[in-house]
Amino acid sequence: MRLEEEVRIPDTARNLNGGAMSTLEVQIEEPVTFVISGALGDLARRKLIPALYTLFKEGALTADFAIVGFARRDYDNRSFCKLMEESLREHSRTAVDEPSLKAFCSHLSYYRGDLSDPAAYAGLKAKFDDGTLPANRLFYLSITPDLVESAVTGLRQAGLITPPHSKPWTRTVVEKPFGRNLQSAKALNRMLLDHLDESQIYRIDHYLGKETVQNILSFRFANTIFEPVFNRTYVDNIQITAAETVGMESGRGAFYDQTGALRDMVVNHLFQLLCLVTMEPPDGLEARSIRNEKMKVLRALHLATATTHHPAVCFGQYGGDSSVKAFRQEERVSPQSKTETFAALRMEINNWRWAGVPIYLRTGKRLAKKTTEIAVQFKTPPLSLFQHVACKGDVCDLAGVKPNTLIFRIQPDEGIFLQVSAKRPSMQMVVESVNMDFSYSGKWDKALPEAYERLLLDALRGDSTLFTRSDEVEAEWEVIDDILAIATKSEPAVYAPGSWGPAEADAVLLSTGWKNE
């Protein structure tokens, strides 16, 4: 390929923002209206608007894109812009400057209406009909689950949903929770599929938009050396942790008390990480192939069998101390709440590759530090060469050496680390564990894109690879339903805020040596 061919920029790739190629390397190529239903809510202000602003500044949106904030409260275009400006100043990762803000605001408008009132949608339709808004439409349903049905029905009845695979196109992004259990997830899917085609539904799990999560597949399948050892012959166990230091900030008490860690984190984010790290190589990188492989994992996934000394589950709830409230004292949380704010699970995948390999999942609020990582721990090598505890001559004990562990650090300090054993420089044969590190910050100096930037751009471009399909969601609930039944019957163990969860979790995590660290 000649150089001129490589760098030729198609007209559609230029935008108002200086006409430059997007610095994100991809951009949408057609005019779109992005409607945020629930535009005054926390998610819109903290994540959606900042992500759209970054996409705009980076040149990924076309010149004639439009963002419509749809909500009930009394705002107009001006006051809505003002509010969004404030959000950007607080939450944008991209520098906020006056000219860009002004230009961004010129794409924003506010549409006032009751999301549960079908008449409100007719007014919105009129704006598409009279050409005020670009005809391709993406509806982001940033609303509580109880409003989803009336919102989708309203869109349908007003004629806002165009036929699938046609132009202008319609897409809807649906936020979790996708139901509360298998039965309600199925009902939600049925309802969505009554009004929309599966190809028009984008169920968002923001973990899939994280750069480090996408790298799991590249790392596994773009290298030859790891895949042959990713199986029950070589892997001792897999540990997936999503620990958070936050509690019920931003008034989440009422929502979380109804939800708990299993529904909030495990059934979606942790199961998705588990699928990516254990799935078979897909036959392509498009949505269908990857989702099909994830489905196979979910069908084979189940809770491990508990024994008296080795339970398969532990649920916890954070207590308080002099500086933070206990969960039961949080605003809008029942003082008798039994909701789990911590969960540790021992799972298994019943297939040829992973049979018998424990997969430990652990997540919780108010833990010692914010960290999300996947550790694939390999079996220890045969130790017969190094049996002696003390060094004799130049031979020392290997038993203290840690097994090889491959760590995918999702956040923070994003990177991939491999722990290996090496000889410490000495006159004796002393072996110790050392790290081979790849860290994003050491390799690339630019900040990683936010998950929402990637996912919104994908939805705008019609790429559903990083979104979950209806059967995937149902398969996830099928696995968690049994675990929820156990959680409902158990009393969560109280743990100290700032700890690694209840001591009882150690028994679940027994064989890993991972415990409270």
Residues known to be catalytic: 269
**Residue 153 class from Cβ within 10 Å (0-12 exposed, 13-18 middle, 19+ buried)?**
middle
114 binds ligand BG6 (CB under 6 A): no
| Residue placing its CB nearer to ligand BG6 in the complex, 244 or 280 | 244
Question: Tokens 């605001």 sit at which residue?
Answer: 105
SS3 440: helix
How distant is the alpha carbon of residue 253 from its chain centre? 21
| Residue placing its CB nearer to ligand BG6 in the complex, 137 or 263 | 263
| Residue placing its CB nearer to ligand BG6 in the complex, 264 or 458 | 264
468 binds ligand BG6 (CB under 6 A): no
Binding footprint of ligand BG6, residue count (CB under 6 A): 3
Which residue of 54, 109, 372, 377 would you call a contact of ligand BG6, by CB under 6 A? 372
- 218-247 positions binding ligand BG6, by CB under 6 A: 244
Q: Which residues contact 507 (CB under 8 A, 6 or more apart)?
A: 309, 310, 311, 314
- 275-334 positions binding ligand BG6, by CB under 6 A: none
| Residue placing its CB nearer to ligand BG6 in the complex, 372 or 404 | 372
Instruction: Work out how close the CB of 144 gets to ligand BG6 at its nearest, in angstroms, rounded to a whole number.
Output: 13
Instruction: Work out how close the CB of 193 gets to ligand BG6 at its nearest, in angstroms, rounded to a whole number.
Output: 24
Instruction: Work out how close the CB of 455 gets to ligand BG6 at its nearest, in angstroms, rounded to a whole number.
Output: 12
Report whether 318 contacts 350 (CB < 8 A): no
Listed in sequence order, the DSSP H helices in 301-393 are none
- Strand positions, DSSP E, 213-368: 235-243, 301-303, 313-318, 342-349, 359-364
Q: In what order do the strands lie in the sheet with 170-175?
A: 108-112, 66-71, 33-37, 137-141, 170-175, 201-204, 467-468
SS3 364: strand
DSSP state of 47: I
Instruction: Work out how close the CB of 373 gets to ligand BG6 at its nearest, in angstroms, rounded to a whole number.
Output: 11
| Residue placing its CB nearer to ligand BG6 in the complex, 64 or 211 | 211
Instruction: Work out how close the CB of 143 gets to ligand BG6 at its nearest, in angstroms, rounded to a whole number.
Output: 15
Nearest to 449 by CA among 214, 245, 266: 214
Rounded to the nearest 5°, which phi and psi values hold at 507? -65, -30
- Residue whose Cβ sits closest to ligand BG6: 264
- Strand positions, DSSP E, 371-463: 371-378, 405-411, 415-423, 431-439
Instruction: Work out how close the CB of 205 gets to ligand BG6 at its nearest, in angstroms, rounded to a whole number.
Output: 8
Report whether 348 contacts 359 (CB < 8 A): yes
| Residue placing its CB nearer to ligand BG6 in the complex, 293 or 458 | 458
Residue 180 CB neighbours (<10 A): 15
| Residue placing its CB nearer to ligand BG6 in the complex, 272 or 372 | 372
**In angstroms, what CA-CA distances link 341 with 3, 62, 240, 311?**
56, 43, 16, 18
264 binds ligand BG6 (CB under 6 A): yes
Instruction: Work out how close the CB of 372 gets to ligand BG6 at its nearest, in angstroms, rounded to a whole number.
Output: 6
Point out which residues bind ligand BG6 (CB under 6 A): 244, 264, 372
